[in-house]
Structure 1
Amino acid sequence: MIAVSAAACYLPAASVPVADLLAGLDPGERETCAALGIERVPADDTLGPTELAARAGRRALAEAGLDPSDIDVVLTVESRAPDTLVSSEATRLQAVLGADRAMAFTVGGLGCASLTPALLAARGLLCADPGLANVLILHGSKPATPHRYRHPVTVNGDSGAALVITRDGPVRVRDILLETNGAYADLFRVHYRDRIAAQWREECADPPTYSFRLAVETRNRLRSLTAALLTRNGLGPDDIACYLTQNLSQAAFQSWAEALGVPIAKPCLANLAQHGHLGPNDLVLNLGAAIETGHLAPGDRAVLLNISPAAAWSALLVETGAPAGGAHHL
């Protein structure tokens, strides 16, 4: 088991009303976008993914009472479109934060589900090396293209998120499950080599596959992942206080709730409306909101679900509050 000893999000103060994005869409796209349940998204074109991640990282370090020199690993969830090619996003963040003693590297490849491999890597490091104590996970979420609307899925906002992962803390990650399917690897893509950045556009190669085939597989995967997660931890549905997911659309929430037979927690709906989709940072934001609003009380358990059209599906079991009988680790 690993724990989250501190978590922080950075959301730009400026935001864009979704209504302002509709003018550049065709009639079918406008109708779909307007029905997502998203009112506005945070946006600051002066901030790139590195700075967004760094601002969240500084907040997480302050919350944990740590200096940058206390960090053993800087683990960056890769950007969908980094500031530059070839250079190292991971070591740049290490330098920006002043975590000079740490080792730094990047994980990802699963789009908005990439927080899960980061947690798996952090768990493996802390389990394998007793000399490591603090892992800082970072991500700056920035749309890969100038068009914030991803048809027919969601509207993307800007954000940074950071987690300080330790062996014990106020939020324990008790279990992690991840499944992937390469059949959808390039369902969404951006052609960029022969185009200037202003012409980049995220395209769905096969909308019916996304809307029907992948949607059905997602419902089945989430149902089976959740059942497996509970079974292997000796838990039943009544042992879970709430279910949290990423923020895509109201229709997605309804579909997932029907598949699981349980409601998606209200903080997810509120964050969807005010912030839209923040990539891998959605779960960090939603978990913090669930704790702050009392949807997760000390000693409660929650299931965190994540989906990526890459395609990947993950389920995390977390528990809040002081562990009964003291700390327990892998």
Structure 2
Amino acid sequence: MTTNQFADFGIAGFGYSLGADQKVGTEVLTEFVDDPERVLQWGYRTFHRAPEEVTAIELSAKAALAAIEDAGLTVEDVDYVVLALSDVPGYLNWDASSALAHEIGVRLKPNLLLMEGCVSGVTGLGNVAGLFATDPTLRNVLFVAVNRVSEFHRNRMRVNNSIHSDGASAVVLRRGHDFGRWLTTVQFTDPDVSYWFRTEYGGEVAPVAPADWSSKTEANGLEAVVNHFRTDPKGLQEFVAALNRRLVEVTDQACERAGVTRDSLKKIIHLNDNQGSFEEIAEAFDVPIDRTSAEIAAQHGHMGAADHLVTLAEYCRSGELVPGDLVALIGISIGMRWYCTLVRI
């Protein structure tokens, strides 16, 4: 394995904050969909729903302070704040990363806001690598990823074939730290379908929704996929076949760049997708499903950008991952993006 000569850093502390647990059953599902059996088939047991008054910044701050404490630091030790935000922001024309810095008391330090959907919770580690590479004075970077579903804009059970959850994860990334060492980040995109899964109203193009519009009945992202291929069924088949193949391709590219082999991966941590998707991913990677993060995904639902670091923290704290283990953080996100970050525990 080669050592990255430009950015040498690892994970010095973990923290996360989750919305209230909600068991996945017909009674709770009928609040969001009129066909709960469809959602039950996804295999989730629990999801997290924050109280209405709890914001993404509040979730992020709790996770951030927990990570700082876990690293044995104080907020004065934080040199840089990076926030990955994967749902609708609390306000327009607003820097949520600065709001987080204010909330936790990090003053007169630089900060960075990433808003590329759930991908930024993984590729954001590559962004941090760039910060370490270009600023030799950096020692401790606080990286936080949060998903707080805006239920006015998005139906958490109709975006795609996942239940969307509320949660934040955080890590303190320390220069020269041996545990949880970042190796590389690779991503590529298919920009021709960049409009899939977007929120139609609230932005510059369409700031106000029609009077009869509701997120509870709005067409979901998968319907946009079907509409895109309505006159090209062969194209749809080819795209579906390519989804998991490209996950393998991006992982292989990352392994080649890091000088490791795919068969040396102890764990493949995918975003918290449905259980059917995990079965397909295990088949594509030719590994048993317990080499993936399927079990933890069923416990949490899809927490957007927060998925991977919550899962990584739980595996490290349970002892399922130990120093020396190689982990791939992978996924597919808006864009459409395929991505992989490799971490050596």
TM-score range with shorter-chain normalisation?
Answer: 0.7 to 0.9
Per-residue Cα deviation, 1:50-94 (whole angstroms, up to 9, x for no partner): 111111001001011111121111111134211111122111111
Helix, strand or coil: the match of 1:32?
Answer: helix
Matches within 5 A, 1:40-119: 40-44=46-50, 45-109=52-116, 111-119=117-125
- Are 1:273 and 2:279 counterparts? no
What TM-score do the two structures reach when normalised by structure 1? 0.88
Residue 165 of structure 2, aligned match among 131, 134, 157: 157
The alignment covers a number of residue pairs equal to 317
Contact persistence 1:69–1:101 (CA under 8 A): no
Could you tell me which of 244, 261, 266 is aligned with 2:286? 261
> Is residue 2:146 matched to residue 1:140?
yes
Verify: 1:222 aligned to 2:222, yes or no.
Answer: no
2:251–2:262 CA contact under 8 A, matched in 1? no
Unaligned runs of 5+ in 2: 1-7, 202-206, 230-235
| 1:211-237 deviation per Cα after TM superposition (whole angstroms, max 9, x unaligned) | 855432221211112222223333234
CA distance in 2 between partners of 1:286 and 1:227 (Å): 22
User: 1:225-304 residue pairs with structure 2 within 5 A?
Assistant: 225-265=250-290, 268-304=293-329
SS in structure 2 of the partner of residue 57 of structure 1 = helix
Question: What is the aligned partner in structure 2 of residue 194 from structure 1?
Answer: 208
- Tell whether the 8 Å contact from 1:137 to 1:162 is kept in structure 2 after alignment: yes
Sort the Cα spacing of 1:128 and 1:159 in 2 relative to 1 into closer, same or farther, 3 A: same
Measure how far apart 1:12 and its partner are.
2.8
Matched, 1:11 2:24: no
Instruction: Kindly indicate whether the alpha-carbon contact (under 8 Å) linking 1:33 and 1:152 is maintained by their aligned counterparts in 2.
Output: no
1:128 aligns with 2:134: yes
Give the aligned residue type for 1:286. Answer: T
Structure 1 residue 104: Cα displacement = 1.4
Note the C-alpha offset of 1:152.
4.0
Partner amino acid, structure 2, of 1:166: R
1:206 aligns to 2:215 (yes or no) = no
**Displacement after TM superposition at 1:202 (Å):** 6.4
Distance in 2 (CA, whole Å) between partners of 1:39 and 1:174 is 33
> 1:218 & 1:234 partners in 2: Cα distance?
25
Cα offsets for 1:81-115 (capped at 9, x unmatched) = 11111122111111111000311121122x11112
2:183 to 174, 177, 181: 174
**Cα distance in structure 1, aligned partners of 2:253 and 2:75:** 38
Q: Distance in 1 between matches of 2:130 and 2:305?
A: 20
Shift of the alpha carbon at 1:197? Answer: 12
Q: Look up the equivalent residue of 2:136 and give its one-letter code.
A: P
Partners of 2:261 and 2:294 lie apart in 1 by 25
Structure 2 equivalent of residue 325 of structure 1: none
Which residue does 1:324 correspond to in 2? none
SS at match of 1:188: coil
Unaligned stretches of 5+ residues in structure 1: 321-330
What residue identity is the alignment partner of 1:250?
Q
SS at match of 2:278: helix
1:265 Cα deviation after fit: 4.0
User: Distance between the aligned counterparts of 1:67 and 1:167, measured in 2?
Assistant: 17
User: Residues 5-27 of structure 1: CA distance to partner in whole angstroms, max 9, x if unpaired?
Assistant: 11211113443534334324244
- Identify if the C-alpha distance between structure 1 residues 175 and 265 changes in structure 2 by more than 3 Å, giving closer, same or farther: farther
How big is each residue's C-alpha offset from its partner over 1:240-293, in whole Å with a ceiling of 9 and x where there is no partner? 222111111001101111111113446722322221111111101111122233
Give the drift of 1:142: 1.1
What's the secondary structure of 1:206's corresponding residue?
Answer: helix
Change (3 A) 1:12 1:246: same
Task: Identify which of 185, 189, 192 aligns with 1:183.
Answer: 192
Q: What SS is found at the alignment partner of 1:190?
A: coil
